[in-house]
Structure 1
Amino acid sequence: MSLSPSPRLPRGPRRRSLLASAAGAALLAGCTGGPGSGEAGAGPSAVERARARAARDSEELAARYAAVIAAHPGLAERLRPLREEVVRHAEAFGGVRAASPTASGTAAGTAASPSASVRAAGPANDSDGSDAVPADEKGALALLAGAERKLAGRRTEALLDVPGESARLLASVAAAGAAHVFLLTEG
């Protein structure tokens, strides 16, 4: 009797592989020069710039989540935990806490009604420049997944530019973003 492969093949990245890749990147980046090492660009100003950009990127992503939640209330239960995590990422990088979407559909100064759009400069921009929340839920989830994917990739690239703890934080948040992509595209 031959053994057949499992009928349910696992999809997406495994938690261990996400953590291992993030940890490996953090270790590599953490071993590079830091303040006082004599390397150019490793001083506090480079770290401060990287943290400010990461905070701003997370705040913009949180605003995009808020707009999607307001436009598609049926997705709120699924998206609120992810948005709250993105807000915590912004705080970890030194950003300010964004307000939660209210029943009226506004968040952090972003008007968000079912036909609203969100200004998404930076990581959440689509390649076509569109910033409107798609009318269908599947399109809205794809919009968020694309924004998370782009931001996770940019943060992974930025690991080379920052030392130690900042690199570890970037790696951790990039891994969380990759996990968000998986959660947004599954189910």
Structure 2
Amino acid sequence: MPFPSSPRIPSGPRRRSLLASAAGAALLVGCSGGFGPDAPDAGQSAADRARARAARDSEALAERYDAVIAAHPRLAGRLRPLREEVLRHAEAFGAGRTASPKASPSVSARAAGPGRDPGAVPATEKEALAHLAGAERELADRRAGALLKVPGELARLMASVSAAGAAHVYLLTESDG
């Protein structure tokens, strides 16, 4: 038996009206740029910040290479190609400057020991290479972890640079023997 229709007219907006107005509001917010954490400008600036940080990180890594080369000149032939690639990574992320070709002797000549400055160069070549490998590994891991937080093209670039960093770790830890 069918229910009889209600003689009273429902007050307030109907479901279709609410859905249509919500969709319209979403379109207007999307077109106007909107405000808040989900606005397109907020996402873009987050990508810009991630790109700038990646560029700074690559420049800082190149400076570590400079310091090791200055402290251990015999490693220069092995390290210069890796350093140059790190500088290309910085440029790919939009770096405005490149690392200085030589580190200051006061910084590069310091020997690192337990609890000392992480930027200090270890006294032996083997420790210096391990120091660089650790810096490369940490940066590659951090970039790999950031992949899901950045948009497509930047994520692809970060993945590629992270993989190159992992290759640098291998080359730095590989024995010449």
Q: Check whether TM > 0.5.
A: yes
Amino acid across the alignment from 2:70: A
1:22 aligned partner: none
Larger % of helix: which?
2
The 5 Å alignment of 1:34-183 reads 40=38, 43-99=43-99, 101=101, 107=102, 110-112=103-105, 115-116=109-110, 129-183=117-171
Structure index of larger Rg: 2
Gaps of 5+ in 2: 1-32
CA shift at 1:186, angstroms?
A: 0.2
2:6 aligned partner: none
Gaps of 5+ in 1: 1-35, 102-106, 119-125
**Contact 2:51 / 2:94 at 8 angstroms: preserved in 1?**
yes
Give the alignment's TM-score, normalised by structure 2.
0.69
Percent identity of the aligned residues? 68
CA shift at 1:157, angstroms?
A: 0.5
What SS does the corresponding residue of 1:80 show, helix, strand or coil? helix
**Which deviates the most, 90-99 or 56-65?**
90-99
Of structures 1 and 2, the one scoring higher in RCO (CA 8 A, sep 6+) is 1
Superposed CA deviations along residues 129-178 of structure 1, whole A, max 9, x for unmatched, are: 53210110000000000000000000001101101100000000000000
Matched pairs, number: 136
Distance 1:149 1:127 in 2: 20
Give the alignment's TM-score, normalised by structure 1.
0.66
RMSD (Å), alpha carbons = 2.5
